[in-house]
């Protein structure tokens, strides 16, 4: 749901930009507890941002003639916490606009508000609510994250409708716009839920201690020590940041995660659906697609996820995807370390915490 320039008037775009900047500034301060609670947090945040970027390239078909892609707010919030997750998705959205002309420049604040702020806020709130009702074990994070992801997408579409009602480019029947946006984005939300469940499930199966939603609750985690022995520890508490049970992330696990990300961005991205996404499809059906304006960075050497001068579309898309992964990972690591560095006082330590 990357909004292009022209869909909303300048006043609305400026207002969403100011609101998004304010929320991101708060997130930089609030993320310090999430990032600084263990030295595994910063690399995990970088991996999550890179993964969200890679999977956002993979448009999947929805119905006839349209497609959807992961927004990733619920996924990021469940894995690394809501404030760090918001920063991760923001990094993705900003770099997509600046490097790949994906989403407008004047609409950048709108896209941060929709794709990062709303999806994280709604997705995480719903996931926590569902998690509170389920047995307190790591596996419960999977359905909780899936439901959060499912709800976050249509909720975001409704926020777009509200913004359009305030500053839309063309007069529309708002009831019709709401019906179209909800219909398609509920379907896209189902795809988001599947991707989120598979991803969180994979992390829970291999490293449940890295899932921050799990650590918020009193759950049993199996921790493997350096000598290879395993033991069960109680990790988490009902409230507040938790470091109990967090151990070194491990180069093997990082390499495996990076391998998946590289395959998705470098290879699988070339077979993504070419159909318009939900917002573009609705805009075409309701007659306001012509209001879209080309981004001022449309001539970027990697604009539209292709590399200038490379005619082979598979190779061009793959190289653009790999470049994006590298840049997103590097920028998110810098942002995470900036957030951690802003923390006052000593970093919380526990007997179970270890360095990366």
Can you give the CATH number for the domain in which 288 is found? Answer: 1.10.1760.20
From 145-154, 208-217, 288-297, the region with the lowest mean pLDDT: 208-217
Q: Residues 6 or more apart from 180 whose CB is under 8 A from it?
A: 282, 285, 286
Q: What percent of the chain has pLDDT over 70?
A: 87
Answer whether 238's CB lies under 8 Å from 217's CB. yes
Closest by CA to 346, choosing from 36, 34, 88, is: 36
Q: Name the pLDDT band for 233 (thresholds 50, 70, 90).
A: low
Task: Taking residues 89-94, report their average pLDDT.
Answer: 98
CA distance 164 to 168: 4
Report residue 99 as tokens. Answer: 């490097």
- Provide the mean pLDDT of the chain: 89
Domain with 111 in it? 10-216+249-341
Residue 218 has pLDDT above 70, yes or no: no
Give the pLDDT of residue 225.
54
For residue 295, tell me if it sits in a domain.
yes
Residue 344 has pLDDT above 70, yes or no: no
Q: Tokens 């596996």 appear where?
A: 139
Give the pLDDT of residue 136.
87
Residue 30 has pLDDT above 70, yes or no: yes
Rg value, the chain, Cα:
20
Question: What Å distances lie between residue 195 and 20, 75, 201, 264, 319, CA to CA?
Answer: 26, 9, 10, 13, 23
CA distance 121 to 75: 11
Give the pLDDT of residue 354.
36
Q: Name the pLDDT band for 356 (thresholds 50, 70, 90).
A: very low
For residue 356, tell me if it sits in a domain.
no
For residue 331, tell me if it sits in a domain.
yes
Residue 165, Cβ neighbours under 10 Å: how many? 13
Could you write out the DSSP letters of every residue in 65-86?
TEEE----HHHHHHHH-HHHHH
Give the pLDDT of residue 220.
52
Give the pLDDT of residue 33.
87
By DSSP bridging, strand 230-235 and strand 66-68 are unpaired
Give the pLDDT of residue 241.
39
Answer whether 119's CB lies under 8 Å from 72's CB. yes
Answer whether 306's CB lies under 8 Å from 253's CB. no
Task: Taking residues 25-45, report their average pLDDT.
Answer: 91
CA distance 280 to 288: 9
Give the pLDDT of residue 198.
98
Phi, psi of 233 (to 5 degrees): -125, 155
Q: Tokens 């892609």 appear where?
A: 69
For residue 2, tell me if it sits in a domain.
no
Answer whether 59's CB lies under 8 Å from 321's CB. no
DSSP 18: H
Could you write out the DSSP letters of every residue in 138-180?
GGGHHHHHHHHHHHHHHHHHHHHHHHHHHHBSS---HHHHHHH
Residue 224 has pLDDT above 80, yes or no: no
**3-class state of residue 61 by DSSP:** strand
**3-class state of residue 170 by DSSP:** coil
For residues 204, 208, 211, 215, the Cα torsion angle rounded to the nearest 10 degrees is 130
Q: What total number of domains does the chain contain?
A: 1
For residue 253, tell me if it sits in a domain.
yes
Residue 112, Cβ neighbours under 10 Å: how many? 27
Sequence-distant contacts of 307-316: CB under 8 A, at least 24 apart? 313/270, 314/270
CA distance 59 to 42: 28
From 38-42, 239-243, 284-288, 311-315, the region with the lowest mean pLDDT: 239-243
CA distance 117 to 112: 6
């Amino acid at each position: 749901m990357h909004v292009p320039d022209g869909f909303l008037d300048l006043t609305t775009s400026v207002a969403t930009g100011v609101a998004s900047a304010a929320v991101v500034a708060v997130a930089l301060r609030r993320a310090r507890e999430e990032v600084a609670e263990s030295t595994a947090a910063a690399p995990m945040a970088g991996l999550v941002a890179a993964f969200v970027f890679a999977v956002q390239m993979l448009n999947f078909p929805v119905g006839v003639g349209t497609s959807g892609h992961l927004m990733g707010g619920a996924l990021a919030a469940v894995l690394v916490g809501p404030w760090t997750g918001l920063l991760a998705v923001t990094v993705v959205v900003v770099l997509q606009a600046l490097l790949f002309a994906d989403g407008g420049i004047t609409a950048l604040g709108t896209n941060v508000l929709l794709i990062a702020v709303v999806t994280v806020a709604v997705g995480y709130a719903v996931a926590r609510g569902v998690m509170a009702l389920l047995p307190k074990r790591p596996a419960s994070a999977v359905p909780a994250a899936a439901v959060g992801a499912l709800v976050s997408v249509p909720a975001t579409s409704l926020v777009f409708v509200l913004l359009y009602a305030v500053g839309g480019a063309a007069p529309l029947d708002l009831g019709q716009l709401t019906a179209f946006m909800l219909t398609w984005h509920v379907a896209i939300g189902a795809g988001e839920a599947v991707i989120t469940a598979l991803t969180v499930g994979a992390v829970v199966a291999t490293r449940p201690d890295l899932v921050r939603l799990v650590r918020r609750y009193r759950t049993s985690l199996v921790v493997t020590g350096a000598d290879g022995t395993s033991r069960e520890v109680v990790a988490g508490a009902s409230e507040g940041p938790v470091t109990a049970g967090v151990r070194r992330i491990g180069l093997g696990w990082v390499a495996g995660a990076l391998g998946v990300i590289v395959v998705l961005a470098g290879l699988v991205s070339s077979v993504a659906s070419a159909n318009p996404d939900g917002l573009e499809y609705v805009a075409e059906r309701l007659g306001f697609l012509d209001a879209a304006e080309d981004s001022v960075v449309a001539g970027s050497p990697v604009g539209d996820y292709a590399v200038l001068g490379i005619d082979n579309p598979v190779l061009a898309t793959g190289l653009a995807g790999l470049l994006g992964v590298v840049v997103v990972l590097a920028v998110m690591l810098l942002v995470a370390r900036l957030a951690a560095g802003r923390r006052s006082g000593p970093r919380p330590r526990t007997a179970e915490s270890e360095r990366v």
